[in-house]
Amino acid sequence: MIGIIGAMEEEVAALKDDMEVQETIEQASMAFCKGTLCGKEVVVVRSGIGKVNAGICAQILVDRFQVDTLINTGIAGSLDAKIDIGDMVISTDALYHDMDATVFGDPVGQVPRMDTLAFPADETLVQKAVQANEKANPDIHTFTGRIASGDQFISSQEVKERIVENFHPLCVEMEGAGIAHAAYLNKVSCVIIRAISDKADNSATMDYPAFERKAIAHSVRLMKELLPML
């Protein structure tokens, strides 16, 4: 069973429209749509925004629906000048840019007493997602690398530069590491897929509404290409 999580309804609405929904189960104020999509058994759900919503959502998918694969689809801000609005980033790992227990001697980003700084993506899922995007969206570029998550919408050049200096991620968003963290603890496969909607700098709020819809359309096309490969 594959769990597909989007933070916002706009990110999952098109997938739900194309599903054969067998049942919708509500838990933790989230509607889990179970059924088939592109010939695969899936559960599609809007988690809500932020790391805690995302982590709760992922845990319910594992516990209640026994998913063995978690895919987080959505949008993000680019942290690399090579990555333009509309391009796609596939995670190799994900971490928290707003975790800071350095006073105890931990590196910035490290969850204290955990055995990893960053939560890895499943390598096979990453490869297949790259292939799917190159086929589904040949007009954009595909990048693989680290994704940074935090409970902030990044629209400051200063904050952007600090995140890049500390972690060298390709993009920044608000849920991926929470989902990757849950996948790591539960030993299930995971990948974070992010279409770039803004540059995570002083232009971010200006760019965002105009490019959000385009970025989501790219993500939906990728997902429909990816699912039959799994």
What's the first-to-final CA gap in the chain, in angstroms?
10
Reference 187, options 120, 118, 128; nearest CA is 120
d(CA 153, CA 202): 11
E strand residue ranges, 123-165: 142-149
Dihedral-angle region of residue 226 (phi above 0 means left; psi in -120 to 50 means alpha; beta otherwise): alpha
d(CA 153, CA 8): 14
Catalytic residue numbers read 11, 198
Q: Phi and psi for 84 in degrees, rounded to 5?
A: -95, 165
**Tokens at residue 137, please?**
């969206």
Reference 119, options 182, 169, 69; nearest CA is 182
